[in-house]
Amino acid sequence: MHLSIVRWTLSWRARSTGPGSPVVPAWLFVAWLGSPVAIFAQTSPFDLTIEELGELPVVSMGRRAEDVRGSAAAVYVITSEDIRRSGVRTLPEALRLAPGIEVARNGTSSWTISMRGFNSDLSNKLLVLIDGRSVYSPLFGGVFWDAQDTLLADIDRIEVIAGPGGTIWGANAVNGVINIITRSAADTGGLYAEVGGGAGEDVFAGVRYGAALTDRIDARAYVKYFNREISSLPDGAEVRDEWTGAQSGFNLRWAVSESDGITLRGDVYDGSQDVLTRGDFTIGTIPPTDVPATVDLSGHNVVARWRRTLVGGGGTRLQVDLDHTNKKIPGSFNEKRDTYHLDFQHDLSAFGRHRMTWGAGLRRTSDDLDNTLFASFVPERRTDRLSTAFIQDRIAFEGTNVDLTIGSKLEHNEYTGFEYQPSGRMLWTIDATRAFWASASRAVRTPARLNTDLSLFAPITDDPVPFYINVVGDPEFLSEELMAYESGYRFQTGSNLSIDLAVFRNDYDNLQTQEVGTQVVETTPVTHIVLPVRLDNNMQGDTYGGRVAVAWQPLQRWRLRLHYSRLEMDLKLKPSSTDTPSLGIAGQSPAHQAAVHTFGELGRGLSVYMAARYVDALPSFGLPSRVAVDASFAWAPSPELSVSLTLRDLNDARHVEFGGGLAIERTAYLSLIWRPTP
């Protein structure tokens, strides 16, 4: 017998949606994906050319700026223009614009997101940062995506690094790093206002205002609100999960001097989601179902960063961030958490063939969990400390176009003590249009409270004798380990076509399993049966695959992006394990994904975005492969005003994307954006 911790701990509830949105002839729009008709060959209206896309600065790989073309990793940048033209409303939707990311929606507020496999409701091998602030939860090692939001118009770019980044960012940067970077306050002056709504997106609105306070200080502030409609089951029956949220924030940039700059930003948010859950229970009872309840989520964060440019091209950075979250899930648990993080980095001036970077950091996180009979953590309150240090050297070989980057991160955590994460990366810049790279890295996913401190007590049946399952963490839980081997080749043909290829092989050890013990009969307070399950590290395996990303601009006013990714997972249990159901996680990620994104300008202020995405079957959930067709049409009658119509899942009125059983319905919404001239 097997229990998915995912389903019982954080999805202890039923779900719900509204009726479908208007039926649209999807074939009519699909035809636009390959048709340049009505696209005028005038001056290119795109913010960046294909060549400039390859020269975008990326900071997430080496924590210092280097262009995409010169990165020894599988790097992809989602630009602010991509986000604006596609009409997406959430960060998870924006991530669908990148190749190889596994994004599945499971209700109004629930998303499962991963890279290179192991997708689940508790995905924990992907590090996500917002302006360099890590947003992973120490409770389970992953990301609560319903707590991550910002005004999308403020995003400058999203850097997506496929593959381990532990040498720079530390534990949990196992299969990838996503860094969401917002624009400087100096670049967002004046008023920005948006409002909209429709089927699936009931109503949303946002306002931002920026101004120069002095000749050296710029600031902006924003507020946003949304209400998303309820979901449905595959048969169309509504499920109670309406999601409402509000968030506000600020950003301040102070140019202290020619060499010093300070950035201060923060957010505060509050939201709620209606759910149908199971009521409280006592030993010997099965709780009632379909009990109305509300999940509450609130929090705030502040990030302060000081940068100094040193003579000779080096620099230092000191960042302090504070984060408070409060999540209340009826019938499950309540979590209050405060996290404090201090991070220092020094980029040394280049000397000889060497360009070195080193840094150190401290993190302190404290939680207060209101335990219930269903889910409890022992101890109920805990404070964990993490200390880190890293060093990295990029070495240029004289007389060649080859660079070698070597380094390692050393961490000490409260669970497994010291961890090291070294890597070596080679980049061969063949010429101005071609580059080859290869790397070998070690990364770890350190234990979280769910792995070591959890006690989950769930009723299964009460006929004829009450039967329960009790899942407990292991205080000796080990870090999950990865050895990764990657290589890639990118090239550009002319000024309108670039191709980026990457392949990988990952070797994992100490992956989590759930080991079933011998059932026990207990007689107090009533006679009942308990089946014990212990979390352990008894799975290992290999994954391999690759991805292709193509950017092509056949006409000045028409651009295409084509993506394909492949994933194979070969997992096996260690001899001491009997947990064969855990092998099923290999069937929770699609083996093939492909997408075509097209952006076009039609003249007279009209623009169009079209996309067709293919996602392979998920055999562990019995879900077939699917194709999703999306579109967004925008009209800007003046530089100050634009209106857009966005349509999702044109070809499918209702479908299920993951294992929770909730159906995602076709959506359509209008949005109005006003940017008056300052």
d(CA 662, CA 653): 13
Sheet of strand 663-665, all strands in order from the earlier edge strand to the far edge: 238-239, 231-232, 663-665, 654-656
* pLDDT at res. 60: 67
Distance of CA 460 to the CA centre of its chain: 33
Question: Domains in the chain and their CATH numbers?
Answer: 5-674 (2.40.170.20)
pLDDT at 151: 95
Question: Is residue 30 predicted with pLDDT exceeding 60?
Answer: no
CA distances from residue 366 to 142, 158, 208, 336, 588 in whole angstroms, order as listed? 17, 29, 33, 8, 32
Indicate whether 1 pLDDT > 80. no
pLDDT tens-digit profile of 457-475?
888 887 788 899 999 999 9
Compute the average pLDDT of residues 171-196: 94
pLDDT of residue 519 exceeding 90: yes
Least confident of 370-379, 571-580, 624-633: 370-379
pLDDT range class, residue 438, cuts 50, 70, 90:
very high
pLDDT of 402 > 90? The answer is yes
Tell me how far apart the alpha carbons of residues 479 and 474 are, in angstroms, rounded to a whole number. Answer: 12
- Give pTM, 2 decimals: 0.91
Residue 538 has pLDDT above 70, yes or no: yes
Backbone dihedral angles phi then psi of residue 638, each to the nearest 5 degrees: -150, 165
> Is pLDDT at 250 greater than 80 in this prediction?
yes
Structure tokens at 459: 């009723």
Say how far apart CA 180 and CA 91 lie, in whole Å: 9
Give the pLDDT mean for 223-234: 88
For residues 631-640, average pLDDT: 95
Phi-psi sector, 432: left (phi>0), alpha (psi -120 to 50), beta: alpha
d(CA 678, CA 672): 19
Nearest to 512 by CA among 442, 571, 590, 588: 571
Confidence of residue 478 (pLDDT cuts 50, 70, 90): very high
Q: Which two tokens stand for residue 509?
A: 């050890």
Where does the pLDDT of residue 506 fall: very low under 50, low under 70, confident under 90, or very high at 90 and above?
A: very high
Q: Which amino acid is at 499?
A: I
Hey, which of 121-125, 227-231, 286-290, 627-631 has the most confident mean pLDDT?
Answer: 627-631
Which burial class, exposed, middle or buried, applies to 602 when counting CB atoms under 10 A from its CB (0-12, 13-18, 19+)? middle
Of 180, 197, 194, nearest to 145 by C-alpha is 180
Residue 44 pLDDT grade (very low, low, confident, very high; cuts 50, 70, 90): low
pLDDT digits (tens, 9 = 90+) for 127-145: 999 998 999 899 999 999 9
Q: What mean pLDDT is predicted for residues 76-93?
A: 95
Any idea which of 48-52, 389-393, 493-497, 668-672 has the lowest mean pLDDT?
48-52
Residue pair 459/508 in contact (Cβ under 8 Å)? The answer is no
Reported as half-sphere exposure (CB side, CA atoms, 13 A), residue 254 has a value of 8
Q: Give the mean model confidence (pLDDT) for residues 598-608.
A: 93
Q: Which residue has the higher pLDDT, 14 or 538?
A: 538
- Cα 2 from Cα 655, distance rounded (Å): 27
Asked if the model's pLDDT at residue 168 lies above 60, the reply is yes
pLDDT at 356 over 90: yes
Q: What is the mean pLDDT of residues 207-221?
A: 96
Determine contact, residues 501/546, Cβ cutoff 8 Å. yes
Residues with Cβ within 8 Å of 334's Cβ and at least 6 positions away in sequence, in order, are 326, 327, 328, 369, 370
Looking at every residue in the chain, the average pLDDT score rounds to 89
Can you give the pLDDT at residue 291? 81
Give the pLDDT of residue 15. Answer: 32
Q: What is the mean pLDDT of residues 199-217?
A: 94
pLDDT over 50 (residue 372): yes
pLDDT score recorded for residue 43:
46
